[in-house]
Amino acid sequence: MWDENTIHELVEQQRRYFRSGATMDVGERILALKRLKTAVRKHEKELEKALAEDMGRSATEAYFCDIGSVLLEINETLRHLRRWARPETHWSGLVSFPSMITKVYKMPYGTTLIISPFNFPILLSLGVLTAALAGGNTAVIKASSKSAACTKVLQELIASVFPQEYVAVVDGGHDVADLCLAERFDKIFYTGSPRVGVHVMEQAAKNLTPVTLELGGETGNWCIVRKDADLKDAARKIAFFKILNSGQICIDINQVAVAEEVAEDFLEALKEEFTRQIGPDPVHHPEYPSLISDAAYQKCAAEAGQYRDRIVLGGAGDPELRKYAPTIIYPVGCDEAIVQHELFCPLLPVVPFPDNEIDRLLATIEEREHGLALYLFTKDLDWAKGTMSKMQYGGGCINEVCLHLMVKGVPFGGTGHSGMGAYHGVWGFREFTHPSTVLIGATKGNLPLREHPYTGFKGSWKKKVVKLVER
């Protein structure tokens, strides 16, 4: 259906719709978000079924990770949008006398492109759309071809709420994504891999289009378990997170570094937790999600095969079901290949380190590309807070996993190879609006300070006055 001409016409339709002013009124934006919320609720069962078809998600996991999280984002936006969108008033300062009032208007970019991934196909499309609509933009959503069932429901959901010139969902593979990127959008929001993120930036640069990138991180996200950590608590949370979506999460733990003094106890606790939470045969457990494609399964299985002699739990799967068991690999060196790239699967390398050499481990992590997340488990909160305040990463938790993503009013985003820009709540509104500063000039009482001449007696006193006010 989608080719160069149809995509170009779609973008032009949206550009005309935006220029008509239909999206500018904040009240209309609120109505649009309410319609979106109603549609998500109405299609809840269809979305759950699609998430099960694409990734084997249970209904509870589908709601927790995708559907409920979207509703949470919409509700937060509805609650505060009028305040976010209100123009700010600033005092212009003596240097601008007598024009003392300056306004900052929060202006929409215009026609936006949202490229969403397969792993959270509802949250990472409709969650981003929420911010785009709040900002007063139109949106083309390029949904993933890998999660085909979810893309189909998304198309039906959006078409039931919005005219195509306001919001549209485009399906297709990388070729269709490139056709979208060839168009001149006013803002692009991409979620996916750093490699494709580079391509998105290259295409956006041709039109100087501003870009937000939410990426997984080139060398993955670290979790550090110190010797003083509550090992059972750490194991419980890490196991939960690695089971979730079968490890296909951009903020997932890529590798665990555990103090060697407690490594064996931690491993035993971790094995127990995997078994407790997903059973002794996770591959055939009805609640355990599948990998997204045959290629993803084969990649996971092949990498596990390279470390076959060090697998201490798991290491088996079913290609027909596309399910691979949570797999602990131990011991793994800090410089081995498996901990130098994002895994995006249920493999979990465990790296032992001497607890008194934690600074050396942190230095190694810092030398690599910045992760999207960092997780620390320790009873020494002063050390943990100090570490979190010095390292470079997207976001993270102390003695917890992933829940920073769910906190209202705080930004979510990466840095370096894990992304640029941030969203959620007001941060998403800011990401999809441009702050335009407008000084309101006075027509009476103007002084000739800025006007020529700049020499002689007049120039001398002008400079003195300027020095006085520009402090």
| Cβ partners under 8 Å of residue 397, min gap 6 | 373, 375, 376, 403, 404
Q: Taking the CB of residue 17, how many other CB atoms lie within 10 A of it?
A: 18
Active site residue 214: yes
Among the listed residues 150, 180, 250, 397, the single catalytic one is 250
**Hey, is 331 helix, strand or coil?**
coil
The predicted model gives 152-179 an average pLDDT of 97
Structure tokens at 114: 């949202």
- Interhelix angle 174-181/194-205, rounded to 10 degrees, is 30
Active site residue 44: no
Question: What size, in residues, is the chain?
Answer: 471
Q: Which helix (H) or strand (E) holds 89?
A: strand 88-91
Structure tokens at 45: 């069962």
Q: Which amino acid is at 408?
A: K
Q: Taking the CB of residue 256, how many other CB atoms lie within 10 A of it?
A: 28
Topology of domain 222-368+373-411, CATH = Aldehyde Dehydrogenase; Chain A, domain 2 (3.40.309)
Neighbour order of strands in the sheet with 222-225 = 311-313, 327-329, 347-353, 255-259, 222-225, 373-377, 395-398
Q: How confident is the model at residue 1 (pLDDT cuts 50, 70, 90)?
A: confident
Q: Domain residue spans in the chain? A: 4-217+420-434, 222-368+373-411, 441-469
Give residue-wise pLDDT tens across range 317-355.
999 999 999 999 999 999 999 999 999 999 999 999 999
Give residue-wise pLDDT tens across range 33-53.
999 999 999 999 999 999 999
Q: How confident is the model at residue 466 (pLDDT cuts 50, 70, 90)?
A: confident
Quote the pTM value.
Answer: 0.95
Q: How many Å apart are CA 363 and CA 396, to the nearest integer?
A: 18
Q: How confident is the model at residue 59 (pLDDT cuts 50, 70, 90)?
A: very high
Structure tokens at 36: 């979106």
The predicted model gives 14-25 an average pLDDT of 98
Give residue-wise pLDDT tens across range 266-323.
999 999 999 999 999 999 999 999 999 999 999 999 999 999 999 999 999 999 999 9
CATH architecture observed for domain 4-217+420-434: 3-Layer(aba) Sandwich (3.40)
| Cβ partners under 8 Å of residue 394, min gap 6 | 217, 251, 370, 371, 372, 373, 412, 413, 414, 415, 418, 419
Structure tokens at 39: 């549609």
SS3 content of the chain, % helix, strand, coil (to 5): 50, 20, 35
Among the listed residues 214, 218, 273, 303, the single catalytic one is 214
